[in-house]
Structure 1
Amino acid sequence: MTATVHRNTQAASAPLEGERLARAKKAYTTRFAARSIAAAPSGYRLLTGPSTVPAPGDIVLARVESIGQLKRLESPDSRRQFLFEGDEVLLAYGHRYAADNVLAEVPGDLGPCHLVAAGGIAGSVTASHGDLAGPTRLVPQGIVADARGRLTLSRFAPRQVDPAAIGPVAPHVIAVLGTSMNAGKSTSAACLVKGLAASGLRVAAGKATGTGAGGDPWLFADAGASPVLDFTDFGYPSTFRLAAEELGVLAANVVSALAESAPDVIVVEIADGVYQEETRRLLADPVLHSLVDSVIFAAADALGASAGVALLRDAGLPPAAVSGVVTASPLASAEAAGVLDIPVIGTRQLAEPRTAQRFLGRSTA
């Protein structure tokens, strides 16, 4: 992970009582740090003052000022904790891009900010979907530190990015991409995992990009994948605004780590849509091309399916099939099938072993 340069060389600090830290509601993104804190709850302090500048991955103790759109916080074990005004919560600063939700960035100071993702990300909302209520407001109490310095997600992550882990892997790798958020990528990936596992294959699965949350990893595990990993296992709260080179190396590390258990096949989801900035840059990265053997494309409608298939072919990653939300409608599926020369396959069909095994050959469409 790229080293973060902090600008608070003379930040003010105050002791953080272990009991206070223990009472704070912990977020999914901070799960690895939370384990360490539970094992040794003393010796922490809060960095405060105008010279303390947050950075992505910094762990912050914040007070809930008012409840807005997000009323619950995902715990380290993915329980949805109800939030109340006055609660103190342990979160990670991070950027967020979600076309159906919010655009948010890490603020330049410790002033009031927002809960921008239920998985536990603090940031400042700069734009939001018109159907959403106002964001849940936070008042940061300080960035948590110990004798070594700031607590960051990368310090406690079980895995560290290895720049050398960028080559192809032995297992067959199937990538799932889509037109946009909520196009059915995670559902398609999970159903594919189910079908492959039901056919007797050992399946590993993960997410290379996105916003930190436990829902999709648990979905893949429940479908039969083991192991399941994503970018949060490498200390990233999200992948929005990562440099192009870092994105490729991170994706390669996720796939390489999944390959360590010698599965027969790896299913990896790439979040958001193909027009999202980081996804577009990743599609142009030779590293991704060296990793992926087959592609499934999830779309919400026929037009999106047609445009997405063309875009992926231009990028050199031709999809083997279209699935996702478009297949929930027989009419939309028929429209897509009428303009495409690759199969349009329902998500439930992907869970059938015979269908899932069709994707074990390299995409050449």
Structure 2
Amino acid sequence: MTTYRTPFTASLTGAKWAFSTRRVQQSDVVGISDRVEEARSGDLVLGRVEKIGSHKRLQLTSGRGSELYPDDLVVVACGDRYAPDQFEGIARLNRQSSDLLASGGVLGQMRQKNGKIACPTTIVPVGLLTDANGQVVNLSSYAETTARPGARPTAIGLIGASMNSGKTTAAAALANGLRRAGHRVGVVKITGTAAFGDYNAYIDAGAHFVCDFVDAGMVSTYRQPVPQIETALELLLGLAGEANCDVVIVEFADGILQSETAALLRSDYVRSEVPSFLFAVPDALSAVGGSATLSEIGIAPLAITGVVSQSPLASAEAEAMTGLPIWTRDALCDPAKANALLASAASTAPFCEVAA
């Protein structure tokens, strides 16, 4: 049952709206439904913080983090999460108490967690937010519209052996190097969970255009159909082209064994749009095993980067065993070297034109 009441809008004004809801027109929300058990991925939820756990701060639509306190009202999105270093959870709400799966504002039911991580912050769902037609507000209604047809920018994929292998650092560094070389750089994060850390890192690096799967109407890509993610990639690459980017860096979250990422790397469509990759790894053994796994599906990375590049010894081991060059953050930031890497990428994509 959906109810509408005057004090409701006042409570929304004082609520903390999470970064995951950044595209929502807040004035569209006029009511609330108590049918929280029917929530699906992307539905907006008004909740009350019950107990502070692992996530002690909520990322706001403004781009800053806000300390959480018991009884805070928050607006988050129901969603799934896959994070080997933190939580795995699904888009399912419990009326008594649900779990904050990500500080970007993703609420669901935790199924398992990393043993090094504290239990999640718990939130009691007050209800699902509804619009003037009584429909539950969902992020999918605020996705970008189809981009105008046009030339695609040259795309370089950034994949990793695991979570926290250095993908975002490498993507931001390459964006900075290419910008300094005179390119209009776009960065697209195509898989993952809504959060502003990577988004802000790309902006700080000087990317001309930044977007992610939230701009395609998804709070998370975990457990979403691969064709839907492929459609999102088509949209986001088109938007980068519409923004006059001549090169776009596409980051894939987590590791190459994660289900959606693994499927996308085998996708003919994805491989046609993103024909070249950098591979971020935490150590030399991951470089060797990961490169072999990629080779089995026909991917030969342009280079290895990530955490391993911080260690000269580990880098030497990785280079000796894989035959691939190791690129440090400083090398990716260097305009001349970044341009050389782009030229290598463009040579594998004959239908893309790279601006001088």
In structure 2, how many angstroms separate the alpha carbons of the residues matched to 1:169 and 1:302? 38
Per-residue deviation, 1:143? 0.1
8 Å Cα contact 2:94-2:109 kept in structure 1: no
8 Å Cα contact 2:152-2:237 kept in structure 1: no
8 Å Cα contact 1:54-1:109 kept in structure 2: no
8 Å Cα contact 2:153-2:237 kept in structure 1: no
Partner residue, 2:31: 45
Matched, 1:19 2:19: no
Q: Could you give the per-residue CA deviations for residues 138-165 of structure 1, whole angstroms, max 9, x where no partner exists?
A: 10000000222111112233x0468x98
Q: Of residues 249, 274, 281 in structure 1, which corresponds to 2:256?
A: 274
Aligned residue type for 1:156 = Y
Q: How many residues align?
A: 344
Residues 213 and 308 of structure 1: CA distance in aligned 2, closer, same or farther (over 3 Å): same
In structure 2, how many angstroms separate the alpha carbons of the residues matched to 1:345 and 1:135? 36
8 Å Cα contact 1:113-1:124 kept in structure 2: yes
Q: Could you give the per-residue CA deviations for residues 64-117 of structure 1, whole angstroms, max 9, x where no partner exists?
A: 011011110000022110110001100000000000000011115534111110
Q: Secondary structure in 1 aligned to 2:23?
A: helix
Q: Secondary structure in 2 aligned to 1:229?
A: strand
In structure 2, how many angstroms separate the alpha carbons of the residues matched to 1:312 and 1:161? 32
Partner residue, 1:323: 305
8 Å Cα contact 2:177-2:335 kept in structure 1: yes
Partner residue, 2:138: 152
Partner residue, 2:21: 30
Q: How does 1:233-252 map to 2 (within 5 A)?
A: 233-252=215-234
In structure 2, how many angstroms separate the alpha carbons of the residues matched to 1:127 and 1:255? 34
8 Å Cα contact 1:45-1:144 kept in structure 2: yes
Partner residue, 2:85: 100
Q: Secondary structure in 2 aligned to 1:356?
A: helix
Per-residue deviation, 1:191? 0.4
**Once the two structures are aligned, what percentage of the paired residues are identical?**
37
8 Å Cα contact 2:44-2:137 kept in structure 1: yes
Partner residue, 1:285: 267
Partner residue, 1:257: 239
Question: Which structure 1 residue ranges, 5 or more long, are not aligned?
Answer: 1-10
Q: Secondary structure in 1 aligned to 2:38?
A: coil
TM-score under structure 2 normalisation? 0.92
Q: Of residues 126, 130, 135 in structure 1, which corresponds to 2:120?
A: 135
Per-residue deviation, 1:261? 1.8
Taking only aligned residues, the RMSD between alpha carbons, in angstroms, comes to: 1.9
In structure 2, how many angstroms separate the alpha carbons of the residues matched to 1:245 and 1:169? 22
8 Å Cα contact 2:94-2:125 kept in structure 1: no
Q: Secondary structure in 1 aligned to 2:224?
A: coil
In structure 2, how many angstroms separate the alpha carbons of the residues matched to 1:146 and 1:255? 31
Q: Secondary structure in 2 aligned to 1:150?
A: coil
TM-score under structure 1 normalisation? 0.90
Per-residue deviation, 1:328? 1.1
In structure 2, how many angstroms separate the alpha carbons of the residues matched to 1:353 and 1:310? 30
Q: Of residues 111, 118, 121 in structure 2, which corresponds to 1:126?
A: 111
Q: Secondary structure in 2 aligned to 1:318?
A: coil
8 Å Cα contact 2:18-2:76 kept in structure 1: yes
Q: Could you give the per-residue CA deviations for residues 40-64 of structure 1, whole angstroms, max 9, x where no partner exists?
A: 37x61110147x5010000000000
Per-residue deviation, 1:341? 1.4
Per-residue deviation, 1:172? 1.1
In structure 2, how many angstroms separate the alpha carbons of the residues matched to 1:143 and 1:243? 24
Q: Of residues 57, 61, 66 in structure 2, which corresponds to 1:76?
A: 61
In structure 1, how many angstroms separate the alpha carbons of the residues matched to 2:68 and 2:290? 39
In structure 1, how many angstroms separate the alpha carbons of the residues matched to 2:285 and 2:340? 25
Aligned residue type for 2:17 = K
Q: How does 1:304-343 map to 2 (within 5 A)?
A: 304-343=286-325
